[in-house]
Chain A
Amino acid sequence: MPEKTRKPGALSALFKQREVGLFIILAVLFLLVGLRNPAFTTGSNALFILEDTAIMMILALGMLCVLLVGSIDISIAAIMALSTMTAGIVMKQNLNITEIQVVTDGVMGSATLRESTPLILLVIIGMGVGALCGALNGLLIAYGRVLPIVATLGMQYILYGVSHVVSDGQAVYRKDMPDSFINLSRQAFLGLNSKIWFMLVVFAVMFLFLTYSRQGRYLYAVGSNRESAAMSGIKSPRATLIAHIIMGMLAGLAGLLYASRDTKITQDMAMGYEMYIIASCVIGGVSVSGGRGKAVGVLLGALTMGVINNALTMLRLTGNSEFWKKAIQGALILAAVVINVIIQRSKERRVLRDRRI
Chain B
Amino acid sequence: MERMISRLPKWMRRWEWILVILILLVFALFSRLQPDNYTIPKLLNQTRVYMVDVGFLALGILVVLILGDIDISIGATAALSVTVMAVTYNQGNGIPFLLAVALMLLTGALCGFVNGLLVSRFPELFPMIITLSTLTLYRGIAYIILKDQSSGRFPSWYAKDLGYGSFRLFGLDVPIMLVCILAVLPVYYIWLHKSASGRRIFAAGTNLTASRYSGVQTGRIKVMAFTLNGIMAAVGGFFLTSRTGSVKYTLATGFEMQAIAIAVLGGASTSGGRGSVIGLLLALILMTGLKNGLMLVYNDAFILNLSIGLLLILIVLIPNIAGRIRRQNTVRRQRMSLQKT
Point out residues on A near B: beta carbons under 8 Å. 72, 74, 140, 144-147, 149-151, 153-165, 169, 267-268, 272, 275, 278-279, 282, 288-289, 320, 322-334, 337-338, 340-341, 344-345
Q: Given the known A-B contacts A158-B313, A330-B138, A337-B130, are A324 and B302 also in contact in the complex, defined by CB atoms under 8 Å? A: no
- Say which residue of A268, A275, A288, A345 sits within 8 Å of B136 (CB atoms): A275
User: A residues within 8 A CB of B270?
Assistant: 147, 149-150
The residue in chain A whose Cβ has the minimal distance to the Cβ of B300 is A164
Q: Given the known A-B contacts A144-B321, A333-B132, A334-B137, are A158 and B310 also in contact in the complex, defined by CB atoms under 8 Å? A: yes
- Say which residue of A144, A267, A288 sits within 8 Å of B129 (CB atoms): A288
- Say which residue of B126, B130, B137 sits within 8 Å of A331 (CB atoms): B137
A155 to B245, CA, bound (A): 32
Q: Is the interface of B mostly helix, strand, loop or mixed?
A: helix
Contact B132 A157, beta carbon cutoff 8 Å: no
B312 at the A interface (CB under 8 A): yes
B144 nearest CB across to chain A (Å): 6
Contact B309 A156, beta carbon cutoff 8 Å: yes
User: B residues within 8 A CB of A154?
Assistant: 261, 308-310, 312-313, 316
User: A residues within 8 A CB of B130?
Assistant: 334, 337
Contact B133 A158, beta carbon cutoff 8 Å: no
What are 20 residue pairs bridging A and B, where the CB atoms are less than 8 Å apart in the complex? A153-B260, A154-B316, A155-B309, A156-B257, A157-B308, A159-B309, A160-B305, A161-B309, A164-B303, A275-B135, A278-B129, A279-B136, A320-B147, A329-B140, A330-B133, A332-B133, A333-B132, A337-B130, A338-B122, A341-B124
Contact A289 B126, beta carbon cutoff 8 Å: yes
Interface size class of B (residues with CB under 8 A): 35 or more
- Say which residue of B122, B260, B317 sits within 8 Å of A146 (CB atoms): B317
B222 at the A interface (CB under 8 A): no
A330 to B77, CA, bound (A): 13
A324 to B141, CA, bound (A): 8
Point out residues on B near A: beta carbons under 8 Å. 70, 118, 122, 124-126, 128-130, 132-141, 143-144, 147-148, 253, 257, 260-261, 264, 270-271, 300, 302-310, 312-313, 316-317, 320-321, 324
Q: Count A-B contacts at CB 8 Å.
A: 146
Contact A158 B309, beta carbon cutoff 8 Å: yes
A189 to B316, CA, bound (A): 49
Contact B303 A327, beta carbon cutoff 8 Å: no
Contact A150 B312, beta carbon cutoff 8 Å: yes
Contact A157 B317, beta carbon cutoff 8 Å: no
The residue in chain B whose Cβ has the minimal distance to the Cβ of A145 is B320
User: B residues within 8 A CB of A147?
Assistant: 270-271, 316
A72 to B125, CA, bound (A): 15
A350 to B307, CA, bound (A): 52
Residue with the greatest number of chain A CB neighbours at <10 A, chosen from B124, B312, B313: B313
Q: Given the known A-B contacts A327-B141, A329-B140, A330-B134, are A151 and B313 also in contact in the complex, defined by CB atoms under 8 Å? A: yes
A34 to B337, CA, bound (A): 78
B224 nearest CB across to chain A (Å): 22
User: B residues within 8 A CB of A163?
Assistant: 302
The residue in chain A whose Cβ has the minimal distance to the Cβ of B303 is A161
User: B residues within 8 A CB of A328?
Assistant: 140
Contact B136 A329, beta carbon cutoff 8 Å: yes
B194 nearest CB across to chain A (Å): 28
Contact B128 A72, beta carbon cutoff 8 Å: yes
The residue in chain B whose Cβ has the minimal distance to the Cβ of A282 is B129
A51 nearest CB across to chain B (Å): 24
Contact B313 A324, beta carbon cutoff 8 Å: no
Contact A341 B125, beta carbon cutoff 8 Å: yes
- Say which residue of B136, B304, B306, B317 sits within 8 Å of A333 (CB atoms): B136
For the A-B complex with A161-B304, A282-B129, A327-B144 known, give 6 more contacts whose Cβ atoms are closer than 8 Å.
A140-B317, A150-B316, A156-B257, A160-B306, A279-B136, A320-B147
User: B residues within 8 A CB of A140?
Assistant: 313, 317
Q: Given the known A-B contacts A145-B320, A323-B147, A337-B125, are A330 and B140 also in contact in the complex, defined by CB atoms under 8 Å? A: yes
Q: Given the known A-B contacts A325-B140, A327-B140, A330-B140, are A161 and B271 also in contact in the complex, defined by CB atoms under 8 Å? A: no
Contact A279 B309, beta carbon cutoff 8 Å: no
A155 to B135, CA, bound (A): 22
Q: Given the known A-B contacts A146-B320, A288-B126, A288-B128, are A162 and B306 also in contact in the complex, defined by CB atoms under 8 Å? A: yes
Contact B320 A326, beta carbon cutoff 8 Å: no
A331 to B308, CA, bound (A): 33
A163 to B313, CA, bound (A): 18
